[in-house]
Structure 1
């Protein structure tokens, strides 16, 4: 299956050249599966055990409209809820880093969309993460995730259970592939570009990498009854998880934003997909955004709105975490 249509930008489709050149991901090594087939990662029993435990803990905590959950912190830019505003997708370029993360901790940089009432939220997410409890190591890896709240609560990371359907025969973004991290204050900033959008004809939700013109795969519409007409919430940014009474991990590159795009994690060229399947910038008056950080001593976000043609709508985020970030 292929998308029946892809979003079109209302501007010149500009993508920063630097980000395109340094989209360096280890899983981009050619796999070259035959036409009509897709790569399948060898999954061990230990992978499934870790995934089940990690997903249960993760799903119980994540919600972009929740401002406080013990052990969880956010530094994000999110849409201000308006039931009349519908989002058909989201896009951004994120710098890649490798924050310090220990056992029982995880750190994310991601896009996500949500829709539905508070007790039945449907969610789609994509980005990068460091999660030793899921992957068994401290490397930076790509991830995708879907969830449906309710009874029972369902969700899945990557391709470790039902949900996402891979269609690309060589690209392994959906498998938790290794990502090459950036160096602090370096001219070379490795980055990843993700796009999630809804096909208006089939209703399926597609994952694409526009900078590489790659369509990775889709989440079937049947999974998400409360996203049938689109999403009501879009979010960009970082979040971390730790023990409620323990130390919190680093977010982004472990540094608080100071206005310099080389010295903190960034999200640039933020876009949303409107009901006419146009990629547009998330600015007013129709689209209203706000920044949010629950503990500015440990993590913060510096939102610029529209900065310039190179960065577009953008922000910096991250922080060192530590022992005194609050329960």
Structure 2
């Protein structure tokens, strides 16, 4: 009996020794792989800079950067500038900028990289060990998002190309996204000014971005090049917003990465470190900051050049691309949140997109991307056409948008009406809440059979029979349209004017909004006509009209209005 017990003990001890040896062997293997990867990622530095936020910036010889580990770039000759000058968007330069286009990185306070080097953020052992796998490090990205000419997936959204064909845009697993998408042309460039915030990220395994995408290729293996800012605690060890780039040849499956973690992107800038923290960031109702991001392909050399403001950062060479060697077919501007607690999972993540506020909060509280442009082979900057707004929130929708074809249908009886509209609803079927917008023909309510814009809302257990549109709603609409699109004045005023005409009641607020819109659009004659027929005016109306004359340097008319009309008005006397 004692012999049997002794044998068992010896057997257990042998197992423990063997398992210990096995664990040690695995640990040595992992350590060896980590050391090998760190050596590959962190190229020898000519100079290292310790940033006050804890980052270490390696100044690496421009000819020894990670890009040249790519087999297709072994004999690549670096280009420092594109062979052509891309068009600048002088038409969008605002006279009174409300946001500051400033891109400063925290490490700049501690030093600079010498000429002939590029700044590369040093990757730490802890960051590498947090990855799902060492080889997968830095490759995180949303999976397939669109498949052309496919109609068999019921969970997809439809976007129409400029030739009328239908394209499916699929929701991404574990992602909430909101973006404007345009497709169908041969795009060789896209740009936009992205508002910079520092949004909350709930978990180290989640991240949030604000960015631009250019894509081409089949949906299950598309190519994409991207740039923007992100907050990614798992990858960068903190919750600061950081500039980033990303690319893939196969929907993020086996190729591409974020920043310079893999070989491919050729950096030329000695000023901007990809993956380094940026400052300052926008404050709610305070100063607003943005970064002007441009991605343009040089049609002569087929390099996709990246610019942050006036800084040329570098390029994606055509040698590493397939579908995007000549063009992109899809451009997106927007935001993306990655979390496993989305799409109906409770509790929903609190990780924020952009500023974390809804678009209705407007400038100063909501994150934005403005001055969106695309570039094609005409080398002319253009507004995106055939565009659609998509917000994919699973079971928690926070927005909807669509282009509604406007007709003037027959309404047989005065008590009948017809609409073309969008609904957003929540709540039980017998007591739901709803907000709606569209056009309607309603002879009983509006006294004619013309199509008119309307909004409608209902609280639970209170379903009004007819839409109600107040001057406050329309003034807000006119303000939002104007703030988002004064550079597209004719379009903004066209829509705003149609809404204005459909109002049941017009007060000084809505009249003043229209006057202000026409003045800012330099349609001073139309503005004056509206001004003259207004039933009453307030300080906003007078200020808008006089400012409109001053903008156009019509000083005589402005002074006439100020000293003749205003001085004799009841408003002036009462003041």
Q: TM-score range by the shorter chain?
A: 0.7 to 0.9
Alignment match, 1:236: 333
**Superposition deviation, residue 32 in structure 1:** 4.0
Instruction: Pick from 200, 224, 239 the counterpart of residue 123 of structure 1.
Output: 224
Larger radius of gyration: 2
Secondary structure of the 1:201 match is coil
SS at match of 1:33: coil
**Superposed displacement of residue 175, structure 1:** 3.1
Residue from 176, 186, 202 that aligns with 2:276: 176
Name the CA distance, whole Å, in 1 between partners of 2:124 and 2:204.
20
Shift of 1:39: 2.2
What's the TM-score, normalizing by structure 1? 0.81
1:214 pairs with one of 307, 311, 318:
311
In the TM superposition, what is the alpha-carbon distance from 1:46 to its structure 2 partner?
A: 3.2
Q: What is the aligned partner in structure 2 of residue 309 from structure 1?
A: 487
Structure richer in strand, relative to its length:
1
1:205 aligns with 2:297: no
Equivalent-residue separation in structure 1 for 2:275 and 2:490 (angstroms): 30
Offset at residue 9 of structure 1 (A): 3.5
Pairing 1:114–2:215 present: yes
1:190 is aligned to: 289
CA distance in structure 1 between the partners assigned to 2:91 and 2:84 by the alignment: 18
Q: Which structure 2 residues correspond to residues 1-327 of structure 1 after superposition, within 5 A?
A: 1=79, 2-9=81-88, 11-12=90-91, 14=93, 17-20=97-100, 22-27=102-107, 29=109, 31-50=111-130, 53=136, 55-60=138-143, 66-79=169-182, 81-82=183-184, 85-101=185-201, 102-149=203-250, 153-172=254-273, 174-186=274-286, 188-210=287-309, 213-244=310-341, 245=345, 247-248=348-349, 249-258=351-360, 260-282=362-384, 287-295=385-393, 297=396, 299-300=398-399, 307-309=485-487
Call closer, same or farther: CA 1:27–1:274 in 2, change over 3 Å: farther
TM-score by length of 2: 0.48
Q: Are 1:109 and 1:238, in contact at CA under 8 Å, matched by a contact in 2?
A: yes
Q: RMSD of aligned C-alpha atoms?
A: 3.2
Whole-angstrom CA distance in 2 between matches of 1:209 and 1:297 = 34
Shift in Å, 1:298:
5.9
Moved more, 230-239 or 135-144: 135-144
Report the Cα offset of residue 27 of structure 1: 4.9
Relative to structure 1, the CA distance from residue 280 to residue 105 in structure 2 (aligned partners, 3 Å threshold; closer, same or farther) is: same
Q: Please, which moves more after superposition, 108-117 or 51-60?
A: 51-60
- Indicate how the Cα distance of structure 1 residues 86 and 146 shifts in structure 2: closer, same or farther if over 3 A, else same: same
**Structure 1 pair 276–46 and aligned structure 2 pair: CA distance change class (3 A):** farther
| CA gap 1:199/1:304 in 2 versus in 1, 3 angstroms | farther
Paired positions, count? 303
Which runs of no fewer than 5 residues in structure 2 stay unpaired? 1-78, 148-167, 402-479, 493-575
Q: How far off its partner does 1:48 sit? A: 3.8
Tell me, which stretches of 5 or more residues in structure 1 are unaligned?
315-327
Structure 2: distance between partners of 1:182 and 1:22: 11
Q: How big is the shift at 1:183?
A: 1.0
8 Å CA contact 1:61, 1:72 repeated in 2 = no
Deviations for 1:81-124, whole angstroms, at most 9, x for unmatched residues?
32xx1110110011111111022211110001001122331100
8 A contact 1:268–1:311 mirrored in 2: no
Cα 1:26/1:262, change in 2 over 3 Å: same
Question: Contact between 1:272 and 1:280, CA under 8 Å: does it hold in 2?
Answer: yes
| Cα offsets for 1:158-193 (capped at 9, x unmatched) | 111211111012222x2333333211122x101111
Cα offset, 1:19, TM superposition: 3.5
State the match for 1:317 in structure 2: none
